[in-house]
């Protein structure tokens, strides 16, 4: 059942606004242990405010136990009981956003039910928690506090209410989404996707993140690139020391523009309109030290103009037509087939099979349907995806004469 009437705003948890659990963590664990069934779980971080991406609040709800708000900061050594009792199924929305910070605390589920993945598998046009809740329950959730400072203590009642409501309806959503997945014959698709998220290896940090801003500003000079790298590292050290987001120290764009100007004197730093406009003069000595370090670098130690690490073994698709016409022809057939199939199934093409996997298959090419399946599997496609796409893709490629 879905609701077509205007949604009603739910402003406060049905059982009242819970307090934050901290020193009384053992009582909260005992309460959760007396409950039954899966846990509804969410986290709140302070991204863009604090330096780390850690969880400053963990929201947990379980039938028979109600909702518990846990402040884990400073009691990490007292969470063994919580780790043990929560080794069960979790219900989350956008699990890939919450699991990393929970893993840092040693909290891991045995199974995941991700409401966002369910919505995507079912072909929902809108898949935010708010949109799914409106569609399936007739309630709507306020989202004005999503970017609040969740590290502040004490936590105001309006933030505690907001946090508790994020897990208030997850069990109801799980029940209704399960019915829809079973009816659509897509439960196994959903389970495979959730298991991939649960077991996913975290991505390594991006190499040379400062290059994005060098490109934005248009820095080509290697000495200026070296300055930006040194300034970036200096800012990161200050941010870590102050426990604030790096952008709170000074903006990345200002750092790039400062590096592009290649200051040669302390006076140029001290009187820099860039730093003055961005409140960066208080750390002027730090910026000058970084710039002096960059000026002293041997030319061989300066960054190359382009990052040499190759992320993919093939060139951009827009160059295939001239570099490898056969691969380009396979791409045209494969891409069209996937888009048509996704439309037929009523889901997004990136849910059916990731574009990166599509490109790899087209670039390598294949002889048989088994060869195609092996490429898709190697690149991370799940069994349900391979079952859905390999036959239609291979048949279309054969008909177009582009199979190896």
**Digit-coded pLDDT (tens) for 228-244:** 999 999 999 999 999 99
Of 7-11, 23-27, 339-343, 351-355, where does mean pLDDT reach its minimum? 7-11
Domain range spanning residue 334? 317-400
Residues paired with 140 in a beta bridge: 9
Label residue 73 left, alpha or beta by phi (over 0 means left) and psi (-120 to 50 means alpha): beta
- Rounded average pLDDT over 263-290: 91
pLDDT-based confidence at residue 194 (cuts at 50, 70, 90): very high
Do residue 38 and residue 154 come from a single domain?
Answer: yes
Is 67 in a helix, a strand, or coil? strand
pLDDT reported for residue 98: 97
pLDDT-based confidence at residue 136 (cuts at 50, 70, 90): very high
**In Å, how far are 235, 275, 307 from 210, measured between CA atoms?**
11, 18, 11
Do residue 91 and residue 195 come from a single domain?
Answer: yes
Pairwise CA distance, residues 385 & 59, whole Å: 33
Q: How many domains does the chain have?
A: 3
CATH number of the domain encompassing residue 225: 1.10.150.80
- Rounded average pLDDT over 303-319: 84
pLDDT at 186 over 70: yes
pLDDT at 404 over 70: yes
Predicted TM-score (pTM) of this structure = 0.93
Mean per-residue pLDDT of the chain? 95
pLDDT reported for residue 51: 96
pLDDT at 310 over 70: no
pLDDT in tens, 90-129: 999 999 999 999 999 999 999 999 999 999 999 999 999 9
Residue 301: inside a domain, yes or no?
no
At residue 315, φ and ψ (nearest 5 deg) are: -75, 170
Pairwise CA distance, residues 43 & 53, whole Å: 11
- Across 193-207, 223-237, 310-324, the highest mean pLDDT is recorded for 223-237
Longest Cα separation, the chain: 71
Do residue 195 and residue 246 come from a single domain?
Answer: no
Do residue 228 and residue 148 come from a single domain?
Answer: no
pLDDT at 278 over 90: no
Residue 69: inside a domain, yes or no?
yes
pLDDT reported for residue 309: 62
pLDDT reported for residue 279: 79
Residues paired with 43 in a beta bridge: 58
pLDDT reported for residue 115: 98
**Do residues 69 and 28 lie in contact, with contact meaning Cβ atoms separated by under 8 Å?**
no
pLDDT reported for residue 170: 98
Percentage of the chain exceeding pLDDT 90: 90
Residue 285: inside a domain, yes or no?
yes
Which residue, 398, 341, 386, 390, is CA-closest to 369?
390
pLDDT-based confidence at residue 177 (cuts at 50, 70, 90): very high
To which H or E segment does residue 43 belong? strand 39-44
Q: How many CB atoms lie within 10 A of CB 163?
A: 26
Which residue, 96, 46, 44, 43, is CA-closest to 239?
46
The beta strands (E) that lie in 65-208 are given as: 66-70, 89-92, 111-114, 139-140
pLDDT in tens, 54-101: 999 999 999 999 999 999 999 999 999 999 999 999 999 999 999 999
pLDDT at 265 over 70: yes
Of 49-58, 275-284, 347-356, 382-391, where does mean pLDDT reach its minimum? 275-284
Residue 304: inside a domain, yes or no?
no
**Do residues 332 and 359 lie in contact, with contact meaning Cβ atoms separated by under 8 Å?**
no
Using CA atoms of 203, 204, 207, 213 in order, give the dihedral in degrees to the nearest 10: 40
Do residue 220 and residue 165 come from a single domain?
Answer: no
Do residue 127 and residue 252 come from a single domain?
Answer: no
Do residue 63 and residue 136 come from a single domain?
Answer: yes
Do residue 160 and residue 114 come from a single domain?
Answer: yes
Give the dihedral sign, CA 40/45/48/52: negative
Secondary structure (DSSP) of 234-285: HHHHHHHHHTS-HHHHS-HHHHHHHHHH---SHHHHHT-HHHHHTT-GGGHH
pLDDT-based confidence at residue 45 (cuts at 50, 70, 90): very high
At residue 8, φ and ψ (nearest 5 deg) are: -105, 130
């Amino acid at each position: 059942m879905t609701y077509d009437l205007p949604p009603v705003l739910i402003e406060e948890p049905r059982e009242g606004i819970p307090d934050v659990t901290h020193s009384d963590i053992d009582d909260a664990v005992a309460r959760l242990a007396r409950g039954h069934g899966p846990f509804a779980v969410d986290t709140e971080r302070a991204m863009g405010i604090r330096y780390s991406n850690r969880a400053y609040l963990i929201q947990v709800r379980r039938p028979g136990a109600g909702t518990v708000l846990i402040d884990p900061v400073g009691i990490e050594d007292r969470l063994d009981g919580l780790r043990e009792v929560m080794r069960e199924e979790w219900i989350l929305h956008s699990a890939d956003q919450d699991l990393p910070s929970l893993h840092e605390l040693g909290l891991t589920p045995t199974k995941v039910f991700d409401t966002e993945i369910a919505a995507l598998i079912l072909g929902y046009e809108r898949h935010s928690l708010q949109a799914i809740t409106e569609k399936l329950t007739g309630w709507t959730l306020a989202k004005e506090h999503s970017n609040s400072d969740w590290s502040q203590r004490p936590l105001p009642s309006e933030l505690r209410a907001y946090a508790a409501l994020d897990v208030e309806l997850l069990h109801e959503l799980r029940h209704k989404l399960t019915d829809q997945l079973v009816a659509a014959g897509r439960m196994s698709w959903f389970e495979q996707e959730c298991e991939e998220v649960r077991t996913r290896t975290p991505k390594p940090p991006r190499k040379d993140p400062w290059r994005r801003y060098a490109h934005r500003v248009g820095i080509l000079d290697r000495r200026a690139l070296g300055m930006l790298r040194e300034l970036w590292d200096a800012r990161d050290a200050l941010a870590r020391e102050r426990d604030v987001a790096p952008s709170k120290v000074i903006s990345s764009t200002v750092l790039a523009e400062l590096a592009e100007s290649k200051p040669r004197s302390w006076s140029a730093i001290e009187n820099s309109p860039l730093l003055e406009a961005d409140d960066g003069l208080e750390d002027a000595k730090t910026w000058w030290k970084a710039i002096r370090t960059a000026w002293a670098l041997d030319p061989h130690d300066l960054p190359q103009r382009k990052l040499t690490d190759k992320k993919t073994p093939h060139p951009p698709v827009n160059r295939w037509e001239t570099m490898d016409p056969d691969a380009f022809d396979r791409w045209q057939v494969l891409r069209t087939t996937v888009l048509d199939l996704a439309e037929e199934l009523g889901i997004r093409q990136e849910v059916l099979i990731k574009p990166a996997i599509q490109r790899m298959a087209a670039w390598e090419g294949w002889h048989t349907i088994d060869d195609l399946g092996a490429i898709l599997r190697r690149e991370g496609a799940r069994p349900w995806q391979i079952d859905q796409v390999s036959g239609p893709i291979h048949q279309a490629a054969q008909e177009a004469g582009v199979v190896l």
